[in-house]
Structures are given as structure tokens and as C-alpha cells.
């Protein structure tokens, strides 16, 4: 897929300067599927007191957006999966109306970094898969009308398991059954210099492959390196990112940048879920982001990362550990002594 009218010069710059596409930015996810969370203004105070200025929220709740307005905190705003059909089947004028009514009426465009259209649709909510790119295109045209298309980027976070092969990283390959929806998304991202957003959870990769993945490798503590051609891997996070980069390269989208839209480690509820391990994992992710470490395939190219989660979410379904990713308690006290710089 190609967006008509994108200047050739911009296309060439995108190709020639892939390392400039995404700055190394650290953010945090603010999930709210819980009944014991503090008011949003208190959550904002927690964010500010810890120097966190980039936040992902999962819907365009008016009160939440109004609370963030004027705080100087940049947002990734989610569009829930169930809204995609109406955005996709209507016109760009309807998408413009939705943007103005649901988002721009409540917060300045200058605070919006991304609009995340759906979440993990292709694998976990496939009914909505055909609507992802049409919804994105309508929203993009609406942003063009508002002259905001260069400052607010659109993408659609996907699970890392959209890869059918991820080991070794150089063999990274997208699931063939998803190519019909993935390739149009990658085409849009390429043409608009927007990032592929991926939710990366080495914790779940570890717990689903206990015989093949060591805890130390998942927690950045491995003394043994995994050799893949000429590249050396000392942790599962880097290997997961590079597997995705190789998969995109195989499809002709080498220059598309990556944003890790979620990553984290639970502190309870299942095997290897503890505050100690959560600290080890998240602290090492922070170090890699703030130092622009990049990955073995793209060394020195900073990766934008959003840690999951600000608070525990006791209303989440699934495995018990899903409820225990919170870095802070409702009182603002850290569950473990992590720094964000």
C-alpha cells in the first residue's frame, strides 16, 4: 500500500536516515482496568515526581484526557478495537469528526505523540483485523486535513507473536496467515515514516519455553551469549526486537522504525513472577533505552519503549500474573526501587 502524494524527497530521506526516525524515549502504560486506582490527577503527580513524561493510555476517555491537558506529558492514545469498524467503514470526514469530538476537544494536539489504532488485533482479536488499515487511513486523512499528520503518528500495536519464527533472530518471519493484513500496515507505516508498534514480553516467552529459555537470558543476566551469524545476543529482549527487524526486512520494509508499545515483568501470580525479577528486567530495559544501546542488528539506534504497567490492574482477566505488572501502588509508593533515568 502506498499513500498518494507523499513527496519523493521525504521518501528518500526516510530511506537514508532510518536511525533518526525514533528517538530513545522511555514511557509507561497507564492501564485502568481496576477498581482501586487513585484519581488521575494523583497518577499524574506520580508520573511527574518520577520524571516520566511519556504515557500510553488505552482509550480516549474524556476525563482522563482533560486531566492530562496542560501537564506537558506526551500521550499515546489508544483507539479500542471495537471502534475500528465505524472508523473504517465511514469517510475521512467521519474520522475527522471522531478525532475532534473524542480527542482534540479534550487535549491539545501538541501533547499527542501517537494514536494507537487497536491493540493486538491480528492475533488476539482477528474479527477486527480487516478494519485496522482502513481505519488508520481515514484517521491519517483527517490528520492531514488538520495539518497534524507530521506530528501525530498512527500505528497499531501488535503482539510479538505475529512472528511464526523468532529464533534465531535472523530467521525472523511473519506468520504467513497474517501477511494479508500485516503487509498493508507495513506499507502505510513505511510511507508515513511511522513506527511498527510491538508488545514484547520476554516473561511469557520464558514461561512458555522453560526447557529452552533460561531465566537469566530473559532477565539480562546471562553470562552465555547466543551467536547468530556474526551477531551476539545476551538477552531475549534484544533477540525479540531483532527477529521483528529481520522479518520486516524480508518483506521489504527494512527502514521502518520500531516502538515497543508494551513490555514488563509481573511481580506475582505465577512462576518467576516477583518484585526482584520485575526490578531486574525493567531496570535493564530502562538502561538500554536511556543509553541508546539499540540492538545487535541496529546498535546505537535508540528504541522507544513503554513499560507496563503504572499500577496493578485487579480487573484484568486471564492468568493471575496479568494483574500484577504495576510498578507503583495506588498510594504512589514504588513496588521496587527502579529509576527512570
Q: Which residues are catalytic?
A: 120, 262
Three cell numbers at 227?
Answer: 551467536
Phi-psi region of 275 (alpha: psi -120 to 50; beta: other; left: phi over 0): alpha
Q: HSE (CB half, 13 Å, CA atoms) of 324? A: 18
Q: What angle do CA 184, 186, 187 make, to 5 degrees?
A: 60
Q: Where are the alpha helices (DSSP H) in the chain?
A: 8-16, 40-49, 62-68, 84-89, 92-99, 121-124, 132-145, 179-191, 202-207, 215-218, 236-250, 275-290
CB count within 10 Å of CB 129 equals 20
Question: What sign for the dihedral angle of Cα 316, 320, 324, 330?
Answer: positive
Amino acid at each position: 500500500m502506498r499513500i498518494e502524494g507523499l513527496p519523493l524527497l521525504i521518501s528518500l530521506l526516510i530511506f537514508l536516515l532510518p536511525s533518526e526516525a525514533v528517538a530513545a524515549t522511555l514511557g509507561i502504560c497507564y492501564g485502568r482496568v481496576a477498581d482501586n486506582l487513585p484519581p488521575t490527577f494523583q497518577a499524574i503527580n506520580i508520573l511527574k515526581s518520577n520524571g516520566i513524561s511519556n504515557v500510553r493510555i488505552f482509550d480516549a476517555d474524556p476525563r482522563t484526557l482533560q486531566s492530562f491537558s496542560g501537564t506537558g506529558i506526551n500521550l499515546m492514545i489508544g483507539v479500542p478495537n471495537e471502534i475500528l469498524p465505524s472508523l473504517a467503514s465511514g469517510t475521512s470526514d467521519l474520522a475527522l469528526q471522531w478525532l475532534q469530538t473524542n480527542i482534540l476537544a479534550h487535549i491539545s494536539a501538541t501533547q499527542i505523540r501517537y494514536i494507537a489504532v487497536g491493540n493486538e488485533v491480528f492475533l488476539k482479536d482477528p474479527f477486527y483485523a480487516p478494519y485496522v488499515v482502513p481505519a488508520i487511513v481515514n484517521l491519517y486523512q483527517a490528520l492531514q486535513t488538520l495539518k497534524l499528520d507530521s506530528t501525530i503518528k498512527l500505528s497499531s500495536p501488535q503482539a510479538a507473536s505475529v512472528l511464526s519464527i523468532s529464533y534465531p533472530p535472523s530467521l525472523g518471519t511473519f506468520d504467513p496467515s497474517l501477511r494479508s493484513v500485516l503487509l498493508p500496515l507495513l506499507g502505510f507505516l513505511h510511507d508515513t515514516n511511522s513506527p511498527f508498534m510491538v508488545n514484547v514480553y520476554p516473561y511469557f516467552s520464558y514461561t512458555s519455553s522453560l526447557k529452552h529459555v533460561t531465566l537469566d537470558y530473559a532477565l539480562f543476566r546471562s553470562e552465555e551469549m547466543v551467536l547468530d551469524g556474526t551477531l551476539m545476543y545476551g538477552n531475549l529482549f534484544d533477540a525479540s526486537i531483532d527477529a521483528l527487524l529481520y522479518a520486516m526486512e524480508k518483506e521489504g520494509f527494512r527502514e521502518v522504525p520500531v516502538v515497543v508499545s508494551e513490555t514488563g515483568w509481573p511481580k506475582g501470580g505465577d512462576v518467576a513472577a516477583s518484585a526482584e525479577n520485575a526490578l531486574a528486567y525493567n531496570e535493564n530495559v530502562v538502561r538500554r533505552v536511556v543509553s541508546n544501546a539499540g540492538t545487535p542488528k541496529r546498535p546505537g539506534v535508540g528504541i522507544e519503549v513503554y513499560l507496563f504497567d503504572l499500577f496493578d490492574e485487579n480487573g484484568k482477566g486471564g492468568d493471575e500474573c496479568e494483574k500484577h505488572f504495576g510498578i507503583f501502588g495506588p498510594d504512589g509508593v514504588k513496588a521496587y526501587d527502579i529509576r527512570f533515568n
